[in-house]
């Protein structure tokens, strides 16, 4: 069975949202693609969820021969374009899960955009 979760508001669409499985107390990441079908840029500046003690926007970076992750304050999605949150790149980090996320579960989060406002999304837990 193919489950497609499409979340949209105004000119912003969130597609293919998914989150990695993880145990209670652990960290995990959520991935998705943002489509901006409008004529002006919009900025994702915050993500929230009751699933974890802390939720942050993160990016993966490379310095010399080291790869790491760090918090980022925002992501700009240009008009008539998309921005992909994916493994090895930008992602939403869930720090200190309050419950176990098993494959097949549905996880909820809210994405905060400067122009569009809040978009509540659902993401499937998968590998």
Q: What is the CATH number of the domain that holds 91?
A: 2.60.40.1890
Domain-embedded: residue 94: yes
Q: Is 83 exposed, middle or buried (0-12, 13-18, 19+ CB in 10 A)?
A: middle
Domain-embedded: residue 75: yes
| pTM, two decimal places | 0.90
Structure tokens at 7: 């979340």
CA-based nearest residue to 6, from 127, 106, 121:
121
Number of domain units in the chain: 1
Give the residue, 56 or 4, on which the prediction is more confident. 56
Q: How confident is the model at residue 6 (pLDDT cuts 50, 70, 90)?
A: low
Mean pLDDT of 61-74: 90
Contact of 68 with 4, CB cutoff 8 Å = no
């Amino acid at each position: 069975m193919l489950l497609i979760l499409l979340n949209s508001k105004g000119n912003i669409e969130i597609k293919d949202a998914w989150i990695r499985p993880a145990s209670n107390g652990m960290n995990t990441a959520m991935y998705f693609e943002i489509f901006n079908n409008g004529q002006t840029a919009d900025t994702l500046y915050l993500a929230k969820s009751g699933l974890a003690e802390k939720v942050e926007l993160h990016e993966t970076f490379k310095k010399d021969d080291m790869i790491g992750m760090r918090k980022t304050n925002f992501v700009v999605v240009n008009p008539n374009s998309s921005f992909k949150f994916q493994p090895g790149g930008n992602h939403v980090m869930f720090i200190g899960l309050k419950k176990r996320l098993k494959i097949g579960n549905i996880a909820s989060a809210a994405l905060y955009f400067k122009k569009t406002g809040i978009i509540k999304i659902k993401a499937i837990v998968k590998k």
